[in-house]
Structure 1
């Protein structure tokens, strides 16, 4: 695999790029650009044709520097976490920064048949994976835990629906955690995703995964979706 991290010329930027991409790129924004290049232009490769290992490798190279991504890390103490959109990858992906309040986490959820790559930018997060429930008529069962892992700053992990479901939690009672997530294709934002009750396994469809902010600017009205 060829490492693609490099500064972009104006001709290579998006038609309507975030203001940060018009400036010389720091390592975080070089990563944003590189991920977009791997996914290709809007008329190029489909996300399904991209090897997720290339995305994992690019995100692993980056060393977290809070000064580079802090403008996107908008938090809200009234929420478990906030989903902050950084880039849309030529329409092929959503790259978001998630701020997890102390002691808070997500419900069990799927990923709408998309790839999900997660990198820890600050703190640590616990991931609990579950087997994908099997269709069994009206019978519902609690999701079965298959794996538990804790990831710390700069570690990267990957999940898709072929692996199963998961939930994410910030185990610290006093400190927030921050993570970066790449979803490709961005199905959850467009078509929704499913939550699963931890006790019964009941599935609930959420029409779309919303954002608390886009490109560093808070939205007036948001949906409190999950990643």
Structure 2
């Protein structure tokens, strides 16, 4: 079932876009046919080097966004990583542990399934859509000193299509990601730096009360 659905992605076309959360950044070229998935991984590895990751003084998240945007999605490149489990909302598949300072993963999202509302454990995430589309809702992070329950406030909602790139960190807010399609999986590429969620866990939030609970290590 999974392999049939993964094989159904249409071809991608080149276009220009900016990260939806970085309106002031320069347009980024999406879909360079001669820029391979292997080159993307190598560029990420080389740029991050032996740094502490995106929080390093010489690391600019806009450069990482540019690398992710430059790659034109081709299922032949990433299908070997896109392992799916229809019993789960989504699966996380490691592509590369980058010098211990970042993780690159392929996520496969089952139809009309998604993540809980969550933070990023003081890390940063750059997400590229490899196939299908994903809907993201960003919420304001509740004030831990507020002293009462209250629904989370929606800050922004965006649907991303193939080859579009988004960036989020805890300074932007919490988010929830889901596949809105009824009959097709979605596939996305995620760069987490530093890999705090995998190492230490992260927090998930209840939409109606704003209460959080800790999840030990992203699997």
- Shorter-chain TM-score tier: 0.7 to 0.9
Q: Which runs of 5+ in 2 are unaligned?
A: 1-34
Separation in 2, partners of 1:118, 1:75: 18
- Within-5 A mapping of 1:20-99: 27-41=36-50, 44=51, 46-49=53-56, 50-99=59-108
SS in 2 for 1:37: helix
Q: Normalized against structure 1, the TM-score is what?
A: 0.78
Separation in 2, partners of 1:204, 1:139: 16
Separation in 2, partners of 1:80, 1:164: 22
- Residue 188 of structure 2: aligned partner: 179
- Residue 217 of structure 1: aligned partner: none
The 8 Å contact of residues 52 and 194 in structure 2, kept in 1 or not, is answered as no
Separation in 2, partners of 1:191, 1:117: 19
Separation in 2, partners of 1:137, 1:175: 41
SS in 2 for 1:32: helix
- Within-5 A mapping of 1:112-191: 112-136=121-145, 138-191=147-200
CA gap 1:171/1:46 in 2 versus in 1, 3 angstroms: closer
Alpha-carbon distance, 1:46 to partner:
4.5
CA gap 1:58/1:108 in 2 versus in 1, 3 angstroms: same
- Within-5 A mapping of 1:94-113: 94-113=103-122
Separation in 1, partners of 2:77, 2:36: 8
The 8 Å contact of residues 138 and 154 in structure 2, kept in 1 or not, is answered as yes
**C-alpha root-mean-square deviation of aligned residues, in Å?**
1.2
The 8 Å contact of residues 204 and 214 in structure 2, kept in 1 or not, is answered as yes
- Residue 215 of structure 1: aligned partner: none
- Residue 216 of structure 2: aligned partner: 207
Alpha-carbon distance, 1:136 to partner:
2.3
Which whole-Å deviations, capped at 9, do the CAs of 1:59-91 have from their partners, x for residues lacking one? Answer: 000000000100000000000000001011110
Which whole-Å deviations, capped at 9, do the CAs of 1:109-166 have from their partners, x for residues lacking one? Answer: 0000111000000000000000011122541211100000000000000000000000
Separation in 1, partners of 2:146, 2:158: 32
- The count of aligned residue pairs is 183
Separation in 2, partners of 1:131, 1:37: 34
The 8 Å contact of residues 54 and 61 in structure 2, kept in 1 or not, is answered as no
